[in-house]
């Protein structure tokens, strides 16, 4: 077949650009997933510290602040988006560091390594999605205009 006759091979599915409503729906979904991931992982950490008997005021404050930040993010506050991206990025790096320390440590725990690795992935993905998605930006702008 002569490729010069208007035939354009495509690899995979070619998608059309999203319309406004589709972009807002995708943004709402991505923000919801990011919030659920952050809160879910925070609750997991709190439950593990409670089980280990090391739960304290620090964990309660951290969980409360995570919930407050998630609420402000859903409201469309620009500072909440920026703060969430920065904190999620730092948290991902810290989880990687702690996972490496667990592997290097002589008394390593496989559960701790898996938990730290999962935390790094969760928070890294949250930071990447919230920091780069145009759908997220469009949804948060609409939330801000509508008053949350």
- 103 pLDDT more than 70: yes
Q: Burial letters for 86-119: b for 16+ Cβ neighbours within 10 Å, e otherwise?
A: ebbbebbeebbebbeebeeeeeeeeebbebbbeb
Any idea where the domains of the chain sit in the sequence? 21-145
CB 1 within 8 A of CB 116: no
What percentage of the chain exceeds 90 in pLDDT? 55
Distance between CA 90 and CA 135 in Å, rounded? 23
Task: With CA atoms as reference, report the closest residue to 92 among 54, 130, 135.
Answer: 130
Distance between CA 11 and CA 17 in Å, rounded? 17
CB 134 within 8 A of CB 23: yes
- Output the pTM of the full model: 0.80
Task: With CA atoms as reference, report the closest residue to 84 among 73, 68, 95.
Answer: 73
Mean pLDDT of all residues in the chain? Answer: 86
Mind listing the pLDDT tens digit for each residue in 56-77? 888 889 899 999 999 999 999 9
Name the more confident of 3 and 28: 28
**What is the number of helices (H) and of strands (E) in the chain?**
5, 0
pLDDT at 58: 85
Q: What Rg, from alpha-carbon coordinates, does the chain have? A: 20
């Amino acid at each position: 077949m002569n490729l010069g006759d208007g035939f354009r091979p495509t690899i995979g599915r070619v998608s059309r650009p999203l319309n406004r409503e589709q972009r807002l729906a995708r943004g709402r979904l991505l923000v919801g997933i990011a919030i659920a991931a952050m809160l879910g992982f925070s609750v997991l950490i709190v439950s593990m510290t409670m089980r280990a008997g090391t739960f304290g005021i620090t964990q309660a404050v951290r969980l409360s602040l995570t919930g407050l930040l998630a609420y402000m993010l859903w409201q469309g506050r620009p500072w909440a988006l920026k703060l969430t991206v920065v904190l999620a990025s730092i948290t991902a790096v810290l989880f990687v560091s702690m996972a490496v320390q667990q592997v290097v440590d002589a008394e390593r725990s496989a559960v701790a390594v898996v938990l730290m690795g999962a935390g790094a992935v969760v928070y890294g993905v949250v930071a990447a999605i919230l920091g780069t998605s145009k759908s997220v930006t469009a949804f948060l702008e609409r939330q801000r205009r509508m008053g949350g």
